[in-house]
Structure 1
Amino acid sequence: MTGKNSSVTEFILAGLTDHPGLRMPLFFLFLGFYMVTVVGNLGLITLIGLNSHLHTPMYFFLFNLSLIDSCYSSTIIPKMLMSFISKNVISHSGCMTQLFFFCFFVFSESFILSAMAYDRYVAICKPLMYTVTMSPQVYFLLLLGVYVMGFSGGMAHTGNIMNLTFCADNLVNHFMCDILPLLELSCNSSFTNELVVFIVVAFGIGVPIVTIFISYALILSSILHMHSTEGRSKAFSTCSSHIIVVCLFFGSGAFMYLKPPSILPLDQGKVSSLFYTIVVPMLNPLIYSLRNKDVKVALRKTLVRRVFS
């Protein structure tokens, strides 16, 4: 996996800070974030698996969102934690592998959020047709599309970076092998490479955002035509968690990748990256658990069964 003309066989990840006094506090802070992320997402996966009334398309997608978030954070955080306690060296092939899985999970999350928006559109705008429209075959095909797009995005970005040459400098100014710091480090990156990154990211963010926007425009129109206040309230409640997650994920991702590096320096970009790689996967299960009545009921029933069994 080493580039054809590269003299670099390994990279050093700079991490978040050069200040020795901050390293241990940050290590324990992000270790705590990671534990909350893993426990929260695996807990939601287990809860959906154990409760048959949650075996619906909406929770089927939520199950996969939690699975993606668990894998996504595990791709990034363990390696980042090493930079707080030692020199964080990663091989060229290891760096490309991390980059691929990072891109794979980012693209998969983008498209699964758009699939969830479509599911909410069908549930609210066409409730009588819901079981037919969102049949098992349909949501399995949607899920297949999610992972195919994730794989395509990962391959496009990784192939683009693997064609670059890294000559002497091997210090990556980031806590992970991300696209922009690797482009900056390369001694032969060109406008074409940057254009490929922009097009792939614009597609991976743009298509889901357009899908989500259209879905929620139709949902809002349907809600405004409802005569029942209770029906409106229930519809808004059903969508609110998903809207919060969408805004957090796409807002931070677009801020990082759809601005030229001259406008957003990499040191500031690292802070933006923290948000969508660490904070968002940690918050997702909390947002869905705290704002979802079905999840809270399932959690209560599961705990009662465990206590009295």
Structure 2
Amino acid sequence: MAWWNGTSFNVFILTGITDLPWLQKFLFALVLFFFVIDVLGNLLIVYLVVWDVSLHSPMYFLLANLSFVDICFSSITVPKMMVGFFMENIITLEGCVAQMYFFHFLGCTEGTLLAFMGYDRYVAICKPLRYKTLMRQSVCIQLVVGSWVLGLTTSLVHAIMTSYLPFCDSNRIKHFFCDVKPVIKLACADIHLNEALLTNVLGFLSTSTFTLTIISYIYIIFNLTKIRSSQGRSKAFSTCSSHLTVVILFYGTAMSTYLGPSSENSIEKDRIAAVLFTVITPAMNPIIYTLRNEGVRKSLKKLIRSQTF
């Protein structure tokens, strides 16, 4: 008897990353390690930005929002993945669509935030005299709200389209979470429209935001060549290098996953890429910003001294 729009079952089984018991235990420990770093590291950045008055600037306001998104982004998939290392990982159809929605919502929000952070660096370096005007508080709030709204709306497309598909042959998803590609491959219906929307909507958003970020850095590099002081160039580069590293990590894995062809081999590669941008990248962001960003380093030292004495 059909349960939901022609669907013959009400749960999916997530097959996870591997079936090897010894590898499952190792991966559980590794994923848990990165997840703890992700949550604690990004919470630390949010706390520093709120606590330290010297970090009350547009750049760190955007960074705090990025850290908050990173925590939520990993929390959507990682805990469920870790459960799958020790038992059959079952998720309901409604839960699967909800996970898919929030995953893409937060992923699109993060990509847009990274583009706005690139614009912030462009204004700071290329238009320093107009920085306070162009990046005033109201503008920063609008940029953050805009990134969240864009993520909310674009992710609805995939969730709604997937919810209307009938699933009647298999309920085993070859992934550790409900992503669009592996889920729609199980549908007993024509999925060409779903695949086209996935490629076009996510492709347009990711390439647009990535292109805007690259254009910002082209202008930044051009202006850096005009700075005669090596100390000035070094300071400007240090504020940009951490952001650019995060951009490359995020977009490199995301584009390889959603702009490539959908096949059995591609889904296996997508699963590996998904581990990178759901587990590794969010954990690396606070490390990169702590090590590469002078303002965050100084604030961290100030916090340590305040707790010591």
CA distance in 2 between partners of 1:265 and 1:291 (Å): 34
CA distance in 2 between partners of 1:237 and 1:226 (Å): 14
Q: Is the 8 A contact 1:3 1:164 kept in 2?
A: no
| Pairs within 5 Å for 1:211-290 | 211-262=212-263, 264-290=265-291
- Give the 3-state SS of the residue equivalent to 1:11 in structure 2: strand
CA distance in 2 between partners of 1:122 and 1:256 (Å): 31
1:264 Cα deviation from its structure 2 partner: 4.6
1:74 Cα deviation from its structure 2 partner: 0.6
CA distance in 1 between partners of 2:265 and 2:203 (Å): 17
CA distance in 2 between partners of 1:219 and 1:264 (Å): 39
Q: Is the 8 A contact 2:169 2:186 kept in 1?
A: no
CA distance in 1 between partners of 2:27 and 2:303 (Å): 35
1:4-34 alpha-carbon deviations (Å, 9 max, x no partner) = 2212211000000011222222111111111
1:3 Cα deviation from its structure 2 partner: 4.2
Q: Are residues 1:107 and 2:108 paired?
A: yes
Relative to structure 1, the CA distance from residue 179 to residue 235 in structure 2 (aligned partners, 3 Å threshold; closer, same or farther) is: same
Q: Is the 8 A contact 1:256 1:264 kept in 2?
A: no
- Give the 3-state SS of the residue equivalent to 1:265 in structure 2: helix
* Structure 2 counterpart of 1:33, one-letter code: F
Equivalent in the alignment of 2:72 = 71
Greater alpha carbon shift after TM alignment, 120-129 vs 224-233: 224-233
- Calculate the aligned-residue CA RMSD, in Å: 1.2
Relative to structure 1, the CA distance from residue 238 to residue 263 in structure 2 (aligned partners, 3 Å threshold; closer, same or farther) is: farther
Q: Are residues 1:193 and 2:194 paired?
A: yes
| Pairs within 5 Å for 1:52-67 | 52-67=53-68
1:229 Cα deviation from its structure 2 partner: 2.0
* Structure 1 counterpart of 2:44, one-letter code: G
Greater alpha carbon shift after TM alignment, 204-213 vs 256-265: 256-265
- TM-score, normalised relative to structure 2: 0.97
Q: Which structure 1 residue ranges, 5 or more long, are not aligned?
A: none
CA distance in 2 between partners of 1:246 and 1:263 (Å): 28
CA distance in 2 between partners of 1:189 and 1:306 (Å): 60
| Pairs within 5 Å for 1:138-149 | 138-149=139-150
Aligned-residue identity in percent: 39
Equivalent in the alignment of 1:302 = 303
CA distance in 1 between partners of 2:180 and 2:172 (Å): 14
Relative to structure 1, the CA distance from residue 264 to residue 131 in structure 2 (aligned partners, 3 Å threshold; closer, same or farther) is: farther
1:143-190 alpha-carbon deviations (Å, 9 max, x no partner) = 111001110122111112112111131000000000110111111142
* Structure 2 counterpart of 1:54, one-letter code: L
- Give the 3-state SS of the residue equivalent to 1:232 in structure 2: helix
1:120-161 alpha-carbon deviations (Å, 9 max, x no partner) = 000000001100110111111111110011101221111121
Relative to structure 1, the CA distance from residue 154 to residue 192 in structure 2 (aligned partners, 3 Å threshold; closer, same or farther) is: same
Q: Are residues 1:133 and 2:116 paired?
A: no
Relative to structure 1, the CA distance from residue 127 to residue 162 in structure 2 (aligned partners, 3 Å threshold; closer, same or farther) is: same
CA distance in 2 between partners of 1:107 and 1:165 (Å): 26
Q: Which structure 2 residue ranges, 5 or more long, are not aligned?
A: none
- Give the 3-state SS of the residue equivalent to 1:185 in structure 2: coil
